[in-house]
């Protein structure tokens, strides 16, 4: 069985689709953050796979590194917002996040 670029692209598309559906369907903010992380990791799979099959430069791995850095920053800011939401509303449902004031 030969693993081709199409296999990695299909895997990335499936992971991205699962993340997009999870973000759109679920109303728990923590699950939505995990879905965003899943979508970012799907992009990383595609970037590294394209770099593997076209190794002339390391652009795919470089972009993947920046996506990882952005994902770490997004997780830190997102969790801070979730903690603030939970302190105010005692819930992490996104429908409760329409107003962050008391």
**Helical H runs in 1-102?**
5-25, 29-53, 59-89
Residue 74 is encoded by which pair of tokens? 């997004």
DSSP, res 97: G
Residue 48 scores a pLDDT above 70: yes
Q: 2 or 13: whose pLDDT is higher?
A: 13
Residue 98 scores a pLDDT above 90: no
CATH architecture of the domain 5-94 equals Orthogonal Bundle (1.10)
- Chain centre to alpha carbon of residue 72: 10
- pTM listed for this prediction: 0.84
Position 100 scores a pLDDT of 57
Residue 70 is encoded by which pair of tokens? 């952005």
Which pLDDT tens digit goes with each residue over 60-85? 899 999 999 999 999 999 899 888 88
CA gap 47, 8 in Å, rounded: 10
């Amino acid at each position: 069985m030969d693993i081709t670029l199409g296999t990695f692209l299909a895997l990335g598309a499936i992971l991205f689709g699962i993340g997009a559906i999870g973000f759109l369907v679920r109303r728990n903010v923590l699950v939505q953050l995990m879905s965003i992380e899943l979508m970012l990791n799907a992009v990383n799979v595609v970037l590294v796979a394209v770099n593997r099959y076209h190794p002339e430069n390391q652009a795919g791995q470089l972009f993947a590194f920046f996506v990882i850095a952005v994902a770490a920053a997004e997780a830190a800011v997102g969790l801070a917002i979730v903690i603030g939401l939970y302190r105010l509303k005692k819930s992490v449902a996104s429908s409760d996040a329409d107003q962050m004031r008391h």
